[in-house]
Structure 1
Amino acid sequence: MVENKREVIRIAVTGHRILDTNHHLTASIQKVLTQIIQDHPGAEYHLLSALAEGSDQFIAMSALQYMEIKLIVPLPLPEELYLLDFETDEGRKKFVHFMNIADQVLTLTKNSDHDTAYDYLGTYLIDQCHVLIALWNGEYSGKRGGTGEVVKKALNAGKPVYWIYFDNLRDGASNSLRQLKKSGEIQVLGSNRDN
């Protein structure tokens, strides 16, 4: 007897760690997730998120509203080292909460060099995903494993990117598109779809 396997759609996430969580972002994330589900009816959906503070956790929280989405957590570093990069107790608490309900957790490397580990995480996410959701201000910082770098890798790999614009609130971050874009505005990159 041959069993029909469901298609698995892997949705990777990337984004800035400091963000102003507002209803525009929540509605935009839900719109994107709903669109992906509608584009692939009957599939199994995996959200690939390292659960970093900010965007990763915010998207994971929105995705949990969808019973059909499984949470897969690829960690760039061993958990105890990774948590050292978190800036707030709230971020660490949310991380532990999501880890407890995750469907699968993978530690990608034992490497303690953070730049190399984050760069590897970005490569892993793009290699594994079908689509990328990016909460991003549109600026390429040149930082290895940073949001702009992950978006660039996705586009170079021919993966569609659902770019949800928002300002990076980290001190000193450039936000040159602030006058041109609204928080929560969605643009699909690397695809024929135009939202």
Structure 2
Amino acid sequence: MALTTLTGCAPAQTETSYPLISQPSAAGSAAMQGEVLGASYAAADAMIANMGKRFPLYSPIIASSFVNMDDLADTSALGRLVGRQMSARFTQSGFAMVESNLRTNMLIQPGVGELALTRELDKIRKEHRADAILAGSYSLARNRVYFHAQLIRFKDSKVMAAQDFSLPIGGNIRELLRKGAATLPPRT
């Protein structure tokens, strides 16, 4: 009995092939994607699921750096990273994210990043023509960093979605917190 092999015309995928459009990955496991990325994506996914269809995909959203809850004028590399990763996840899910780094009038302070938890939200809304802002804060404990993220609609300050999550303060997290003005808790 002879075996016949059929081959298709599609080119073989190699390790260097990338999809044209970034898509949300299945189950954002912290172990599979890195601790910070996994936690950021899981939090964004939970917010998107919780929000349902209460906020339209086409409505522009601006993302901000997450700020230190003890000093709302302070952030760190970790606060900037989490804000950008959550923004990326919203983009991957089809939301219209506005890139604030391309604008010159955002509340940008050297070494601090875009801060949203201020009295200037109306100014930000007008300058960036956004309908909502993805904002957040973090608090440092002895061996964990606790985050709170919110999607806030500008027109009525209604919170459309919110999520809390935390990360253990290990080597990488400690280094990301050092790259900013955040005061680290003592090691245990």
Which of the five TM-score ranges fits, normalised by the shorter chain?
Answer: 0.3 to 0.5
* Bigger Rg, which one: 2
TM-score by length of 1: 0.36
- The structure where helix makes up a greater share of residues is 1
